[in-house]
Amino acid sequence: MKIFRKFTVTALTAVIAVSTAFAGIASAADTLKGKITINGSTALLPLTLQAAKEFQKLHPKVKIAASGKGSVTGPQAVKKGIADIGAVDWDASTDVPGFKAFEGQVANKVAVIPFATIVNKNVGVDNLTTEQLKGIFSGKIKNWKEVGGADADIVVITRAFGSGTRVNYQAKALDGGDIVKKEKNYKETGSSGDMKTAVATTPNAIGYIDLVYVSGDVKAVKFNGVEATTNNVINGSYKIWAYGYYMTKGQPEGITKEFIKYVQSSKFQQGSLKKLKFIPISAMK
Amino acid sequence: MSGSSSTGKGHPVKGGRTQAMEFSRTRYTARAQRRNKAATFGFYTLGFLVMLLIFWMLFTILAKGLPALSFDFLIKQPEEIDPGGGIGPVLFNSFYILFISLLISVPIGIGAGIYMAEYAPDNAFTGALRICVESLSSVPSIVFGLLGLAIFAEYFDVGLTILGGGVSLALLNLPMLARVTEEAVRAVPGEIREAGYALGMTKFHVIRKVVLPVALSAIITGVCLVAGRAFGESAVIILTAGLSTSGEMWDFNLFSPGETLAVHLWYVQSEAIVEDARQIADKSAAVLVFVVLLINLAFRLPLWFGKRRQGH
Amino acid sequence: MGSPVHNLTSRAKGNAVAVSASPKRHSRHLLSNTLFRYYFLFSILALCLVLGLVILFIGKTALLLFGQISPLDFFFSFNWTPEEEAFGAAAFIVNTLSLTALTLLIAVPVSVGMAVLCAEIAPKWMKNFIRPVLDLLVGIPSIVYGYLGLTVLLPFLRRASGEGLGDGLLAAALVLALMVLPTICRISDDAIVSVPRKYRDAAYALGSTRLQVIFRVVLPAAKRGIISAVILGMTRAVGETMAVVMVIGNTPQLAKTLFTPSSVLTSNIVMQISNVEFDSTWNYALHMMAFLLLLISFMLILVIRILGRKRREV
C-alpha cells in the first residue's frame, strides 16, 4: 500500500509539472486563446479535425475539442450549451422532415457535400431514375430485373433514421419519398464506413453514401443519367448534394467566429477542403 | 480404446494419480473408463478447435497490420488528408485514460468486493445489491457515456476531457471489478480464515495476509479482463473525451480532449476520408491486440515470479 | 493448488506469533483494522453511489415516457415506428431474450468445457499457453469483432443459408458467443482451480475416473463460481452493442427466423440515441429501454441464481 501511495503522489506531481511546462511553451504574442468544443455530424468530422489542426498551429493558445456521434447531436449540444459549434449536414435553423427547427441558432455554411447511390460490384445496373430509386427504397421494387438488371433480390442497405446522410438522400434523391423497412433483405447501418463495407461485401446490395467515400470496392450508379462527380455537382446537373453547416447559438463570437472564418476562408476552402474532396461553398454561387 | 489395456495394472495416470482398479474391475468401471477416455479426447478436440478459431482470428487481425507496422506509425500524428498518418497521441491517451480509470476503479472495486464478501451481512438487501451490481454490466456502455456527458460536460461544464473519459470508464468497470473480487474472496476456503482468527489476528490482518494472497490470482484475472475491456472501449470515450487530440504527443493535461486508440480505430473504420484509412485501421487493430497482450503480461509476470519465490 | 493453503496458514501462524510478541504492533493492527473497515465501507458506498447515479440518470428520463404513452403500448406493441409516434418495444424485448438464450446455448458448453480442459486436464505448458491467449481475446475491441463478423462471418452464413443478407440473430449470437467465451471461461477456470484438492483426491481414492470426478465432484463444487461466470458473460452479451449492430441488421421487427434482420434493445439504443432530440418521446422511450435492460438482466440473474440454488439442495 505504501508503495502504491508513493507512486500515486509521484505520478500526480509529474502530471502537474509537465502540464504547466507545456502551457508555458505556447507563444506569448498570440492574442487568441480559449477552448472551442465542436460536436455533431461524423460526416463533417474529417474536415473539422483538419481545420482544427491548422487553426491550432496558427493560434497555439486555442484548444479545440471535437467529437461526433450523429447529426442532430450538433445543434442539440449547442442548445444545451455543451458545445460551441454543432456540425450538421442540414440547415438545423429550419424545419426538416423528422426534426423541428432549433430556435435562435445560426447556420454557417462550411462545405458542399455530394452524395452517391452505390451498389455492390456484382450489380449490372449503371443508372437509376428517381422513380426507380423510390420504388427500391419503399420496397415496391424487389428484384434487380425490374430495373434492367439480373434476376436477383435487391438487398436494401440504409442509414438509421436521423442520420444526416439519410435526411439529405431522402430529400434529394427520393424526392421526399419514404424508406420502408422490409422483412427480408433490408439492413440499417450506423456509419459511413459500415455502409460501405456492407454494400461492398453483400451481393445485390444497394445503399447511399457521401461521394467522398466511394472507391474501388463499390460502384456508384448514375442518377437520372448523370454521373456522380464533383464537376456535375458544380455545373448543377447532379442534384444529390447538400451544404454542411456549423450551427452556433446566435451569431458566432470571439474565437468561435475566428475559427468559422478560417474554415470559410478561401485558403482553407481551396486548399485542405478540396483535398478532402468536399466542394468549396463558393463554387455553388 | 479398449478399457482392458489401461485397467488391471493400476498404473499411474497423468498427475500421478493412481486409479484403484484392481479390486473393482467390473463392466461398470470398464464403461466408465471408456467414457473417460472419450471425454478426454472430446475436451482436447474442443480446446484444439477453439484455439484454432482464436488463432485464425488473431492471424487475420495481425497479418494485415503487423507487417506494415513501423515505429514511426506509433509516434506520428494522425493525418486527415495525406496518407501515412500515425497514432502517437492517440496511443498515449489510451494509456493515460486507462491509467486514470484503473487508479479509480481498482482500489474502490476491490474494496467494495471485499466488503461484500467479508463484511456485508448475508441478508436480502446484500443479495439484491449483488444482483443490481451484476445487472449494471448489461447496461450498454453508451449509457455510461451519456452519464459521463451529463456529469462532466453539463454539470461541471469542462467539455470533452481526458479526466471525464477516465472517470466514466472507471464507472463502467467498477461493477465488474467488485463482482470478480467478491467471487475470488469468497472462493477462499473458510478454514484458512478461521486458522487466522484462532491465532488472534484482526479481521483486516487476516484479509491482507491470508485471504488476499490466495485470491490474488483471480483478482488479477479480473483486473486484466477489465483493463482489456477499458482499452478497447469506444462509445464511452467518444461521448466524454471526444474524437480529437490536443495535437501534442505528451499532453498530461487532464483537461485536454483525449481520443484513444479504440476510438481512433472506430473513426478510421467509420468516417475517415484519408486514403490509407483501411491500412491504418488494420495497423491500429494489431497494435490494440498487442497492447492488451502486454497489459496481461505486465499484470501477470509479478504473480508468476511471486509464485516461484514461494516455491511453486 | 492445495499447498498454498498450508503454506499460508503457516505464514499466518508466524505473523500471529509476532503479533503477540509486540504490543505496539498489535495496536497498529487494531488501528489498520478499523481504518480499512471504514475504507471498505466507503468503497461499497461509492459503488452504491454509482449504481444509484445510473438508475437515477436512466430512470429520471425513462419515466417521462409514461406521461406521454401508455405502458401497455410500450411493452406489448410490436410496432416501433417512432417517426409516426408508435413506440412498441415488444419486438426488442423478445429478440433480446432469444439472442441471449441462443448466445448462452452456444457459449456456455464451449466455455465451461475449455475451463475444465484448462483447470483439470491439460498439462501445465498447455494451461500456460491457453490462458493468456483467452485473456487476449477480451481486449480485442468489439468493433474488430464486428468488422470480422461483417466481412467473414456474414458472407459465410450467406453461402451456407442461401439468404441474401445473412444478418440476424444467428450471426449476432455467434459473434457474441466468441466475445463472452473468455469471460465465462477464465472466471469458471478460476472457480474450478479453487476447488480444494482433497475433494478430488477423495473421489479418486474411491476409484472414480477423471470424467466422474469432473462432473460429480469438481463442477458441483465450483458451481457457485461458474454460475457467476455465466452471469457476467450473459450481462456482457445483453449489454454488448458495437459488434451486434454490425451483424444483426438493425430492423425493428420480431426475429421470426435466425436470419431475419432484426434489432435488440441495445442495438436499437445505440443506433438511435445519438439521432434523437433530448426532449422527445423517442428519447424517453430509448431511456426506458435502457432501464428495461437493467430489469431484464436483474430478472435473468435472479432466475439463474434460483435455479442454481435449487439444484444444489437436491
Residues A264, A221 share a domain: no
Helix-helix angle B124-136:B162-186, to 10 degrees: 130
Give me the residues of chain C with pLDDT under 70, please: 1-21, 139, 310-314
Residues A55, A133 share a domain: no
Residues B259, B137 share a domain: yes
Residues B36, B168 share a domain: no
Instruction: Tell whether the model's pLDDT for residue A12 goes beyond 60.
Output: no
Instruction: Tell whether the model's pLDDT for residue B292 goes beyond 90.
Output: no
Write phi, then psi, for A198 (nearest 5 degrees): -65, -45
Residues B183, B38 share a domain: no
CA atoms lying within 13 Å on the CB side of residue A234: 12
**Are A190 and C271 inside 8 Å of each other by CB?**
yes
Residues A222, A121 share a domain: yes
The cell for A67 is 467529437
Residues C150, C278 share a domain: yes
Question: Count of A–C CB contacts within 8 Å?
Answer: 88
SS3 content of chain C, % helix, strand, coil (to 5): 80, 0, 20
β-pairing verdict for A127-128 and A219-223: parallel
Q: List b or e across B11-37, with b for residues whose CB sees 16 or more CB atoms inside 10 angstroms.
A: eeeeeeeebebeeeeeeebbebbbbbb
Residues A108, A145 share a domain: no
Residues B166, B43 share a domain: no
Domain count of the fold of chain C:
2
The cell for B198 is 484462532
B71: left (phi over 0), alpha (psi -120 to 50) or beta: alpha
Residues A145, A190 share a domain: yes
Residues A122, A230 share a domain: yes
Residues C90, C44 share a domain: no
Highest mean pLDDT out of A215-224, B202-211, B268-277:
A215-224
Give the Cα-Cα-Cα angle A7, A13, A17 (nearest 5 degrees). Answer: 145
**Are C251 and A203 inside 8 Å of each other by CB?**
no
Euclidean distance between the first and the last CA atom of chain B, given in angstroms as a whole number: 35
Neighbours of C56 (CB within 10 A): 11
- The residue among C21, C43, C67 that closes a domain is C67
**Higher-scoring residue by pLDDT: B299, C220:** C220
Instruction: Name the band, by pLDDT with cuts 50, 70 and 90, for residue B279.
Output: confident
- B: neighbours with 3+ CB pairs under 8 Å? A, C
For position A14, which CATH number holds?
3.40.190.10
Q: What is the pLDDT of residues B7-60, one digit of tens each?
A: 333 344 444 444 444 555 677 778 888 888 888 999 999 999 999 998 888 888
For position C84, which CATH number holds?
1.10.3720.10
Residues C136, C48 share a domain: no
Do C116 and C193 contact (CB within 8 A), yes or no?
no
A88-97, B39-48, B265-274, B297-306 — which is least confidently predicted?
Answer: B297-306
**What are the DSSP calls for B178-217, one per residue?**
HHHHHHHHHTS-HHHHHHHHHTT--HHHHIIIIIHHHHHH
Do A46 and B271 contact (CB within 8 A), yes or no?
yes
Domain count of the fold of chain A:
2
Asked, for residue A153, whether it belongs to a domain, the answer is yes
Chain C residues 70-109 within an 8 A CB cutoff of chain B: none
Residues A49, A31 share a domain: yes
- The residue among C24, C40, C67 that closes a domain is C67
Give pLDDT, residue B309: 59
Share of chain B above pLDDT 90, in %: 13
Residues B52, B92 share a domain: no
How many angstroms separate the CA atoms of B18 and B10, rounded?
Answer: 6
Tell me which residue range forms the domain holding C308. 71-313
The cell for C172 is 449476432
**Are C228 and B196 inside 8 Å of each other by CB?**
no
pTM exceeding 0.95 = no
Q: What is the pLDDT of residues A179-224, one digit of tens each?
A: 888 778 888 888 888 899 889 989 999 999 988 888 888 999 999 9
With H, G, I as helix, E, B as strand and everything else as coil, classify residue C160.
helix
Residues B19, B159 share a domain: no
Residues A106, A123 share a domain: no
Residues B9, B131 share a domain: no
**Higher-scoring residue by pLDDT: A157, B268:** A157
Contacts of B33 by beta carbon, 8 Å cutoff, 6+ apart: B3, B6, B7, C209
- The residue among B67, B86, B103 that closes a domain is B67
Give pLDDT, residue B308: 60
Residues A61, A147 share a domain: no
How many angstroms separate the CA atoms of B2 and B221, rounded?
Answer: 41
- Choose among C186, C173, C195: nearest CA to C229: C186
- The residue among B24, B45, B67 that closes a domain is B67
CA distances from B233 to B96, B173, C273 (A): 14, 11, 18
Do A189 and C303 contact (CB within 8 A), yes or no?
no
**Are C158 and A160 inside 8 Å of each other by CB?**
no
Within an 8 Å CB–CB cutoff, is residue C57 touching chain B? Answer: yes
Neighbours of B311 (CB within 10 A): 7
Do A245 and A92 contact (CB within 8 A), yes or no?
yes
- Candidates C8, C128, C144: best to mutate against B (most CBs of B within 10 A) is C144
Residues of chain B found within 8 Å of residue A193, distances taken between Cβ atoms: 269-272
> Pick from A42, A213, A276: which is nearest to B80 by CB?
A276
- Strand partners of residue A155: A205
- Choose among C202, C209, C214: nearest CA to B7: C209
Asked, for residue A166, whether it belongs to a domain, the answer is yes
Residues of chain B found within 8 Å of residue A80, distances taken between Cβ atoms: 154
Helix (H) or strand (E) run with residue B172 in it? helix B162-186
Write phi, then psi, for A87 (nearest 5 degrees): -85, 130
**What are the DSSP calls for B29-45, one per residue?**
HHHHHHHHHHHHHHHHH
- DSSP conformational letter for B259: -
Do B56 and B48 contact (CB within 8 A), yes or no?
no
**Are B192 and C48 inside 8 Å of each other by CB?**
no
Tell me which residue range forms the domain holding A101. 2-112+244-283
C21 burial type by CB count under 10 A (0-12 exposed, 13-18 middle, 19+ buried): exposed
Mean pLDDT over residues B217-228, rounded? 84
Domain count of the fold of chain B:
2
Mean pLDDT of the residues in chain B: 81
- Strand partners of residue A109: A245
Residues A228, A131 share a domain: yes
> Pick from A99, A185, A198: which is nearest to C164 by CB?
A185
Instruction: Name the band, by pLDDT with cuts 50, 70 and 90, for residue A13.
Output: low
Residues B27, B102 share a domain: no
Asked, for residue A239, whether it belongs to a domain, the answer is no
Residues C291, C151 share a domain: yes
Within an 8 Å CB–CB cutoff, is residue C165 touching chain A? Answer: yes
With H, G, I as helix, E, B as strand and everything else as coil, classify residue B312.
coil
Side chain identity at B128, as an amino acid letter? A
Q: What is the pLDDT of residues B103-144, one digit of tens each?
A: 999 999 999 999 988 888 888 888 888 888 888 877 778 888
- Choose among C98, C92, C90, C62: nearest CA to C74: C90
Give pLDDT, residue A262: 93
Tell me which residue range forms the domain holding B12. 4-67
How many angstroms separate the CA atoms of A12 and A9, rounded?
Answer: 5
Instruction: Tell whether the model's pLDDT for residue A63 goes beyond 70.
Output: yes
> Pick from A72, A160, A194: which is nearest to C277 by CB?
A72
How many angstroms separate the CA atoms of C199 and C120, rounded?
Answer: 13
How many angstroms separate the CA atoms of C189 and C182, rounded?
Answer: 10
Residues B211, B266 share a domain: yes
Scanning the structure block, which residue is given the C-alpha cell 422490409?
A: A182
- Choose among C239, C240, C241, C261: nearest CA to C250: C261
How many angstroms separate the CA atoms of A218 and A121, rounded?
Answer: 6
Residues C123, C9 share a domain: no
Helix-helix angle C124-139:B212-232, to 10 degrees: 40
Q: What is the pLDDT of residues A226-248, one digit of tens each?
A: 999 988 999 989 989 999 999 99
Scanning the structure block, which residue is given the C-alpha cell 470426478?
A: C213
The overall longest dimension of chain A from CA atoms, in Å, is 76
Residues B138, B48 share a domain: no
| Radius of gyration of chain C, Cα coordinates, nearest whole angstrom | 24
> Pick from B80, B157, B254: which is nearest to A46 by CB?
B80
Residues A56, A43 share a domain: yes
Helix (H) or strand (E) run with residue B295 in it? helix B277-309
Give pLDDT, residue A10: 56
- Choose among B250, B255, B285: nearest CA to B267: B285
Instruction: Name the band, by pLDDT with cuts 50, 70 and 90, for residue B307.
Output: low
Residues of chain B found within 8 Å of residue C239, distances taken between Cβ atoms: 137-141
Within an 8 Å CB–CB cutoff, is residue C247 touching chain A? Answer: no
| Chain C nearest CA to B241, separation (Å) | 16
Residues C281, C207 share a domain: yes
Give pLDDT, residue C310: 61
**Are B221 and C51 inside 8 Å of each other by CB?**
no
CA distances from A185 to A173, B221, B242, C166 (A): 21, 42, 35, 9
Within an 8 Å CB–CB cutoff, is residue B225 touching chain A? Answer: no
3-state SS record for C30-64: HHHHHHHHHHHHHHHHHHHHHHHHHHHHHHHHHHH
Residues A107, A28 share a domain: yes
Residues B145, B198 share a domain: yes
Residues of chain B found within 8 Å of residue A64, distances taken between Cβ atoms: 244, 257
**Are B251 and A22 inside 8 Å of each other by CB?**
yes
Residues B44, B151 share a domain: no
For position B86, which CATH number holds?
1.10.3720.10
Instruction: Tell whether the model's pLDDT for residue A157 goes beyond 90.
Output: yes
Residues C175, C276 share a domain: yes
Give pLDDT, residue C14: 45
How many angstroms separate the CA atoms of A269 and C308, rounded?
Answer: 65
Within an 8 Å CB–CB cutoff, is residue C155 touching chain A? Answer: yes
Residues C180, C35 share a domain: no
Within an 8 Å CB–CB cutoff, is residue C111 touching chain A? Answer: no
Asked, for residue A196, whether it belongs to a domain, the answer is yes
Do C154 and A202 contact (CB within 8 A), yes or no?
yes
CA distances from B225 to A234, B58, C47 (A): 53, 18, 19
The overall longest dimension of chain C from CA atoms, in Å, is 79
Residues C255, C207 share a domain: yes
Residues C123, C189 share a domain: yes
> Pick from B14, B36, B129: which is nearest to C211 by CB?
B36
Asked, for residue A16, whether it belongs to a domain, the answer is yes
- Strand partners of residue A223: A128, A226
Do B213 and B185 contact (CB within 8 A), yes or no?
no
